[in-house]
Amino acid sequence: MSEFLQFVFLGLSVGAVYSVFATSLVGVYAATGIINFAQGSIALWAVYTVAALRTDGTLVLPIGDVSLGSVASPTAMLPAVLLGVATAAAWALIAHLVVFRPLRRAPALANVAASVGLMLFLQALVSLRFNTESLAALPILPEGTITVAGAVVNVSDLLMAGTAIAVGALLWAYFGLTTRGVATRAASEDELAARLSGYAPDRLAATVWTISGAASGLIVVLGAYTIGLDPVSYAYYVVPAMAVALVGRLASFAVASVSGLVLGSFQAVLLWANTLDWWPAWAQAGLGDAMPFVVVVVALFLLGGKIPSRGSLGELKMPAVTVPRIRPIPTIAVVAAAALAILLTADSWRFGIVTSMILSLIALSLVLLTGYLGQISLASIAFAGTAGFALSKLTVNWGVPFPFSIVLSALVATALGVVVGVPALRIRGAQLAVVTLAAAFAIQNFVFNNPALTPYEGHQISEPTLLGMNLSVRRGTELTTVAFSMTVLVVVTVMTLLVMRLMAGATGRAFLAVRSNERAAASVGINVAATKLLGFALSAFLAGVGGCLIGYSRGQLSAASFTVVVGLTMLAIAYCGGITSVSGALIAGFIGPLGVFYVFLNQTLDLGQYYQVIAAGGLLLMAITNPIGAAGANAELANKLKTRVRTARLARVAENGTTSLEMSSVKVGTHVG
Amino acid sequence: MTSTLATEPVLTLAGLTVGYGGVPAVRDLDLSVRPGEIMALLGPNGAGKTTTLLAAVGALPAIAGTVQALGAPLDKRVERNARRGVTLVPDNRGVFHKLTVADNLRIARRKGGTDLADVFEYFPKLKGMQGQRCGNLSGGEQQMLALAKALLPSPKVLLIDELSMGLSPIAVKDLLPRLRLIADEQRMAVVLVEQHIDLALAIADSAMVLHHGRVALSGSAELLRSQRANVEAAYFGRVADV
């Protein structure tokens, strides 16, 4: 019993981080309506700033650094903590001023893409700017212990929990008791009305961003010694934090604060359970990481009626859609160009092209689900991964031949897609993004990384053959064979054309109807629930095929190809490429991880290590300057040019006084809302 | 009605052209209101009434012309104009549905503004509703709250867009005379956009009919009341001589 209690208390430090992240998220949501995926990354910068200051007195800035001491006399604890917290506050303020304020009238999806971009950017920047290998966190809180009911409890864990509760209480008091706080909530509901009452919504929001950034920075700085320092995990603490914030309906500071602590303790208790004899082997790893998803799903079903946005009549602003038309000449040109590129390149360049083609298929799954159906999903990469792992089992254990192996594996992903899609029947918008992210996180840690589910020799995949032809990716010293590349090209082309055909027809219309207004769609006889599930199923199937191709292209599957980071990157890239058009998916494939753009950076410019910073920074820039995505911007530009040319031609015709048949050829762009 | 129209105007629009994306919705408009005056701004849908009000609080930038309020040019920021005493009750009422009535009123209060008790005298029903969420109020109650909220800081110029939108005719008959009383007592200049022509003209001092962004008819409310046919003609864009 005392051992159990000990673990309950041990989990409080991590729980405190969840708790403060969650209350910060609730605060930012109350002030701006934004769910900030970058909350953890902002805190990550603070914790490394403090570590660097206390190691050798260096204040690391995004560019350059300032020396405030030396190894012999590093910065003292208090100034270091204050500076660290200030950097987190500064990043949060910059995020507001540079990223989210310009996007306040942009589609919800632009905000998700931008905050994901910011999360990846800061995380990559931390890895580049700090010596993450050698820096360690030094203790800040007292290291003593006390005994509670026979359990030895660290004072620091209790202090962490106390800090978390204090932060939650302060935020609650600010929003509930101060006029400024009330005005902040008002401004997030109706900006013009708040301004007419004499408040500047930007400043109110800036205050909350700064407070929440400082709070998140502080709790991580305080807890880093106990929890440990690594450049990835803190950024992802935002996932459980979002889960508990959703339990509090993104509105209750008290529920978010307490649930965070409870989740932390519960995860620690699961660790303790590993020591029990009867505890099953499969549950020994990753179960704790699966908890946020469980929490979210349970919360949805218990509180479904109360979670904001459910059944709300307010229309979600979405980027305009380009209804695909299959035009033979451009299609043949693109396919021929790809084939030519495959033939003219070799090794890593050809591998980059193949990867880009596969990624464009995964991006297409996002275009289908997020762009056309309006369901923001961050789980596509998990579907791809699931299919990849199924492929390994199917080909190695049961000898299922290509191409049936791909179809069957993709069907496994499809089944999973439908399961993950069920919460979408109850929620929408950025909150669905949270749920799918929690799902992806659970699948990554509980399935892909679970040693109990991983064979001793790793996830091998048998080489694909078709009618006696060997289609495998490697032959001898050849890194990427033409046969494999062409196979990928054929599969991707066929799938893309199928999707285009589907989207141009009745299914596409049903998707767009559901996207723009669920109730209106239902009123004209569209089965909204079935349409959503169909969207998830199709999208998961596409992603699954992509995952199988990734599997075949690697020969052996590793979880690293399907991490949540890759998934987030894919969504952000797909958004910036143009989430509402097929060409956007192609652009996304081009710039996606390990694709052609990466090879270009790595081989030609020798800047491979900067890929994530460049890609994430570029994404942010794209999301801010171009909230409708590159393909949308291109289409708009093309339309403008076309209109101008036609108008000029019409003017000339009018001048000549000839009646013209050209009048009838003026086309309106095929954009629909 | 008021007999003190001789004082200086507190809001003057001169040669104002304003619109959306460079396309004018209101052209070359001249308008001025004095303390204690209620001006009824009338016209069919799309006449440019809301556009005029938005420009008068700084929410839309002028393409040409000027807006002077309280003896100085209008600030570019709506919130600054509001703090100076020029504000608007927008056509969605501008109340905050997620907040309680008390919180709605709380964020509207200012030092030197009207006492809450005085505002409750105008709208006694609100007093007992302070704990309720604004979203749960009826349309008429929300409109009262919107007016109460707008009155608390004691604005010098109050613009009201479609006071009667979504309200029953009975509720409108109840609200408009109260507005007259408030304007008189607080010496507040009011520009009232209204669809109920007769009700508006009954409490107004002056009136203006817009059509396609231009003034089709303007004059004292008394005069327009006596020339009801001309008002209707102006609604359809026929400029009458008054």
Q: What would the pLDDT profile of A628-659 be if each residue is shown by its tens digit?
A: 666 666 667 777 777 777 767 766 666 665 44
In a domain, A42, yes or no: yes
Residue B164 has pLDDT above 70, yes or no: yes
Q: Does A153 lie in the same domain as A45? A: yes
Nearest Cβ partner for A193 among B77, B96, B109 = B96
Q: Does A334 lie in the same domain as A274? A: no
Q: Does A96 lie in the same domain as A19? A: yes
Tell me the chain B residues in contact with residue A194 when contact means C-beta distances shorter than 8 Å: 79, 96, 107
Q: Which of A65-79, A487-501, B71-85 has the lowest mean pLDDT?
A: A65-79
Looking at per-residue pLDDT, the higher value among B41 and A397 belongs to: B41
> End of a domain among A255, A279, A303?
A279
Q: Where are the alpha helices (DSSP H) in A228-317?
A: 233-236, 238-247, 253-273, 287-303
pLDDT bucket at A283, cuts 50 / 70 / 90: confident
ipTM of the complex as predicted:
0.91
Rounded CA-CA distance A131/A52 in Å is 8
Contact between chains at B79 and A195 (C-beta distance less than 8 A): yes
Q: Does A86 lie in the same domain as A233? A: yes
Q: Does A243 lie in the same domain as A118? A: yes
> End of a domain among A518, A534, A561?
A561
Residue A386 C-alpha, separation from nearest chain B C-alpha, in angstroms: 42
What percent of chain B has a predicted confidence (pLDDT) above 70?
96
Give the CA dihedral B122, B125, B129, B130, nearest 10 degrees. 10
In a domain, A603, yes or no: no
Mean pLDDT of A19-46: 92
Nearest Cβ partner for B82 among A185, A189, A198 = A198
Smallest CA-to-CA distance from A17 within A220, A165, A252 is with A220
Q: Mean of the per-residue pLDDT values for chain B?
A: 87
Q: Range of A648's domain?
A: 641-672
Looking at per-residue pLDDT, the higher value among A515 and A541 belongs to: A541
Which residues pair with residue B72 across a beta bridge? B69
In a domain, A130, yes or no: yes
Q: What would the pLDDT profile of B2-48 be if each residue is shown by its tens digit?
A: 444 458 899 999 999 998 887 889 999 999 999 999 999 998 888 88
- A255: CATH: 1.10.3470
Residue B77 C-alpha, separation from nearest chain A C-alpha, in angstroms: 8
Identity of residue A57: G
Rounded CA-CA distance A394/A387 in Å is 10
Predicted pLDDT at B114: 86
Residue B56 C-alpha, separation from nearest chain A C-alpha, in angstroms: 12
Tell me the chain B residues in contact with residue A186 when contact means C-beta distances shorter than 8 Å: 96, 99, 103-104, 107
Smallest CA-to-CA distance from B108 within B55, B126, B91 is with B126
Rounded CA-CA distance A486/A469 in Å is 13
Mean pLDDT of B101-115: 90
Mean pLDDT of A560-568: 80
Q: Does A368 lie in the same domain as A513? A: yes
Chain B residue with Cα closest to A179: B107
Q: How many domains are there within chain A?
A: 3
How many Å is the Cα radius of gyration of chain A?
Answer: 26
> End of a domain among A561, A584, A616?
A561
Looking at per-residue pLDDT, the higher value among B96 and A637 belongs to: B96
Chain A residue with Cα closest to B159: A196
* Cβ atoms of residues A445 and A286 within 8 Å: yes
pLDDT bucket at A308, cuts 50 / 70 / 90: very low
Q: What would the pLDDT profile of B176-232 be if each residue is shown by its tens digit?
A: 888 898 899 889 999 999 888 888 899 999 999 998 888 888 889 888 888 888 888
In a domain, A301, yes or no: no
Residue B241 C-alpha, separation from nearest chain A C-alpha, in angstroms: 37
* Cβ atoms of residues A444 and A563 within 8 Å: yes
Residue A478 has pLDDT above 70, yes or no: yes
Is residue A639 packed enough to be buried (19+ CB in 10 Å), middle (13-18) or exposed (0-12)?
Answer: middle
The distance from CA A263 to its chain's CA centroid, rounded to whole angstroms, is: 22
Residues with Cβ within 8 Å of A273's Cβ and at least 6 positions away in sequence, in order, are A279, A283
Predicted pLDDT at A655: 63
Predicted pLDDT at A470: 75
In a domain, A273, yes or no: yes
Residue A497 has pLDDT above 80, yes or no: yes
Chain A residue with Cα closest to B56: A196
Contact between chains at B94 and A190 (C-beta distance less than 8 A): yes
Mean pLDDT of A226-236: 84
In a domain, A374, yes or no: yes
In a domain, A382, yes or no: yes
Q: Which domains are delineated in chain B?
A: 11-90+154-235 (3.40.50.300)
Residue B84 has pLDDT above 50, yes or no: yes
Rounded CA-CA distance A101/A186 in Å is 17
